[in-house]
Structure 1
Amino acid sequence: MSDDLDSRHKARMARKKALIDANIARAGDERGLLIVLTGNGKGKSSSAFGMVARALGHGMKVGVAQFIKSRTDTGEEAFFSRQPGVEWHVLGDGFTWDTQDRAGDIATARRGWEVAQRMLADASFDLVVLDELTYLLSYGYLDQDAVLDAIAARPPMQHVVVTGRGASPALVELADTVSQIADEKHAYRAGVKAQKGVDL
């Protein structure tokens, strides 16, 4: 019985390997990707920063533009901003429910976008993370067409990661890879505050 299960498993895995190998052989293009991490779940920025670590492991140069957020005491900022090959910018004044100043938020967003545009136009950056950019588009703080044009016109081998809830259909359409992070359960709703090393 065990020999029969083993032989069926081996045959099934051999067929699977043939399909995967054929798909890998067909995927011969190499170019910069636009990756969008969206949805209501926790982990969008964390996933982006995982890609920052991966890029640094390959000796790549990385730029990070954090919109909306104003904290400079997070673990990721403390760690990555000290790494050679990383240019890190915290470009927000805080969440909109804290600032309660639409005109001020728009001005901050536009100043931050100038920093991001510079990185998007610079071929020396292999990876650019635009953290929480989706909010600037959905709130109308930036002109979506101009933002998407700048992303589309970036150097051909530059990868871009955009994070934030509510990615627009136009951004999703432009993207090469889109991941929807679902929210099934969160410790915050059980009264647990944000934890160092997990949330901060």
Structure 2
Amino acid sequence: MGRKPVSEEEHAAKKAKIKAARDRMMAEKIGEKGLIIVHTGPGKGKSSSGFGMILRCIAHGMPCAVVQFIKGAWDTGERRLLTEHFGDLCQFHAMGEGFTWETQNRARDIAAAEAGWEKAKELIRDPSIRMVLLDEINIALRYEYLDIEAVIAFLREEKPEMTHVVLTGRNAAEGLIEAADLVTEMTLVKHPFRAGIKAQAGVEY
């Protein structure tokens, strides 16, 4: 048995009620603050989402910066776009030397992560920079290339009030999730890699 058709008047009344409730809710949201944002989980899209936010900042004329902790050796589309076309608004620092299984040198990985974190702190401390993306920092934290407690303490104590910091990478630490204002977990449902499809330009990088 099919559903009873809804008249235009009923539809309009229902939507008006929803809009009124939404408007009341939005009227109560008047605060602004710099957010600690975490993109984590096994699914694809963590870095892509972070770079989407960086592009929004650029569109609004807001100075921003990127520090890449792992994919520094990759010639990515994001890196090309930002450095070649938006270098006046977005600083880009590729600090990593590749994934940990590529370098096979823990001391070198730690040194690269520490250099990345020092650059990140410098950028975050600059109140003129409105957003800093710490791409794949969660991987560096997971492998203990950086001290998670020191990172959390810095974000809580030294981040300027209106600066947004985005941290990406799977396996985000519980302490970081607790300290964050906004956390999104990407869920893996299906990925072409499992069917023998390699990483492709425009999709993965």
| TM-score normalised by L of structure 2 | 0.93
- Which residue is 1:12 aligned to? 14
2:140 is aligned with 1:143 = no
SS in 1 for 2:183: strand
Distance 1:156 1:47 in 2: 23
Identity of aligned residues (%): 46
Residues 34 and 175, structure 1, Cα contact 8 Å, conserved in 2: yes
Query: SS of the residue aligned with 2:32?
Result: coil
Q: Which of 27, 35, 38 is 1:36 aligned to?
A: 38
Partner of residue 121, structure 1: 125
Range with greater deviation from structure 2 (6-15 or 143-152): 6-15
Letter of the structure 1 residue corresponding to residue 145 of structure 2: Y
Point out where structure 1 has 5 or more consecutive residues left out of the alignment. none
Equivalent residue number for residue 55 of structure 1:
57
Q: Is the 8 A contact 1:120 1:150 kept in 2?
A: no
Contact 2:74/2:98 (<8 A) preserved: no
Give the match for residue 94 of structure 2: 90
CA drift of 1:182 comes to 0.6
Q: Give me the whole-angstrom Cα distance separating, in 2, the residues matched to 1:135 and 1:193.
A: 21
User: Deviation digits for residues 100-146 of structure 1, max 9, x if unmatched?
Assistant: 11121111111111100101111011010000111122211111111
User: Which range moves more in the overlay, 44-53 or 148-157?
Assistant: 148-157
State the one-letter code of the partner of 2:66: V
The 8 Å contact of residues 31 and 156 in structure 1, kept in 2 or not, is answered as yes
* AA in 2 matched with 1:32: G
Return the alpha-carbon distance in structure 2 between the equivalents of residues 149 and 52 of structure 1.
24
One-letter identity of the residue aligned with 2:11: H
Q: How does 1:150-161 map to 2 (within 5 A)?
A: 150-152=154-156, 153-161=158-166
Which residue of the partner structure matches residue 203 of structure 2? 198
Shift, 1:5, TM fit: 3.1
TM-score (norm 1): 0.95
Structure 2: runs of 5+ lacking an equivalent: none
1:69 counterpart residue number = 71
Matched, 1:183 2:178: no
Question: What is the RMSD computed on CA atoms of the aligned residues?
Answer: 1.3
Q: Distance in 2 between matches of 1:160 and 1:181?
A: 18
1:134 to 121, 138, 141: 138
